[in-house]
Amino acid sequence: MRHLLSLLLLSLVLAPCYTQTINQEKIENDQYEASWESLSAHNEAPEWFSDAKFGIYFHWGVYSVPAFYSEWYPFHMYRDGKVKQHHIKKYGELENFNYHDFVPMFKGKKFDAEEWAQLFQDAGAKFAGPCSQHHDGFAMWDSEVNPWNSADKGPKKDITGLLSKAVKKRDMKFIATFHHARNLQRHGGNPEKFATYHSHFAHVPGTATASKDAEIAKMYGNIPADEFNEYWFDQLKEVIDQYSPDIIWFDVWLRMIPLEYRQKFAAYYLNEAKKKNQEVIIAYKQAAIPKTVGVLDIEQGGKKDLSESVWLTDVTLSNKSWSYVEGQTYKTPEMVVRNMIDVWSKNGVVLLNVSPTADGVINQEQRDILKRVGKWMKKYSEAVYETRPYSIKGFGNAKAEEGKHGGQSATQKYTAKDARFLKSKDGKYLYLFVLGKPEPGSVISTKELGLHKYYPEEGIKKITLMGSNTECKWGFGDINFELTVPDAELDDIANVFRMELN
């Protein structure tokens, strides 16, 4: 009897451990199923993403060769308008010179993955990567699925592979962006819809867009929808298998891919990531997938107010287009950084686009801007990376301008009258960002911090101007918090005051 009691007691002691082991094995062995319910079990916005704040990618492809109008050159060249007129005048009639005829001209001889990755890191980016495929059907990786790829044609280099190695080597996360959901010709054989907006290439009889040649038809999306959907998925699978991106980002036309394929992709990506012990992100626009599965991206703008969930915005350094075009102009470092600060204060992350030339050069104008941005990011890194939003975004006079794709514009103009907040993850510091260069001796006054007067346990102990470590004078009026700007070296882009909290 005593022996039986001993065994019983031992089993009771070991039972919880055994059950825990079984449950842990079940969690580790479970596979995501191709359903939103199953896929929602993953953490759609891992902590590293909130910490990162800033990434860089680039629009570079066959469309960079004509360098005219925008990366939508192939869309417009088969439709009446100035791009088609330009094309015919410079290259000849469409029957004789089609979009794929630019491919041999896309050589990228000066492309240097290591140098680009270092440039992005020096600019302050924590993740980076290419536009792996735009709407035009040309894959920027070594593909067995897509015959139109950068390893076999054009540059004859595995652009995505080379960038992946260079970026990861620098302990940065790797992003691959996809716009190819729009590549399918969605006219359904109806001549009245040959130029439908949701097909990147118009179906023009007598040109390559209407070719029945199997290889050419793939580039122009002139294939049956069922075949295209498999083709869309197979290319994603290939990039996942070969390069293990930490973020896969989709343009807005993802919503036109059938639901079963979107779920099939997500399940495959997340299951592969689990095998590799990766915390990955699916970024989407509009309502292409549930917010419990991915991170929402708002193009060229951002949310107007503080968000409970982490979100993303893709913005471009250039003014005229996302790709390089002749006569391109660029934003100032001041505009880039100030708008990024606004995004961060609302729980957002920024993906900044640069525009290389066809031969693989990121020109000096863009480099100078990135260098200045990087200098600012390094100076105030403590207040940027691994921080979280405060209870309010900030205060100021700037009124949010409407963005073209929802939210507010990415070209909002801020001044030293505008300010934003971020807080350290451990809660020890509150950072006040002034979006400009205030005058020494001027007073920054806001009721937004006035309550600290009445909550000493959460109150402010000391305030210093970051960059100079100059201690600042501050206090409370009847309602407002008041901070006197010290007579010290101030930054032209934005200045940060570190508030040490109780």
Question: Residue 455: what pLDDT?
Answer: 64
Mean pLDDT by 10 residues, the chain (502 residues): 43 41 45 98 98 98 98 98 98 98 98 98 98 98 98 98 98 98 96 96 98 98 98 98 98 97 98 98 96 96 94 97 97 98 98 98 98 98 98 92 85 96 96 98 91 70 95 91 96 98 90
Give the start-to-end residue ranges of the domains of the chain: 38-385, 394-501
Cα 195 to Cα 219: distance, rounded to the nearest angstrom: 16
Question: Residue 277: what pLDDT?
Answer: 97
What are the structure tokens assigned to 319, written together?
């003014």
Class of domain 38-385: alpha beta
What are the structure tokens assigned to 418, written together?
């505008």
pTM for the full predicted model: 0.93
Cα 176 to Cα 314: distance, rounded to the nearest angstrom: 13
Q: Give the three-state DSSP class for 118.
A: helix
Phi, psi of 113 (to 5 degrees): -60, -40
Q: What is the CATH number of domain 394-501?
A: 2.60.40.1180
Token look-up 């004789």 returns 96
Question: Residue 461: what pLDDT?
Answer: 93
Q: Which helix (H) or strand (E) holds 131?
A: strand 127-133
CB atoms inside a 10 Å sphere around CB 490: 20
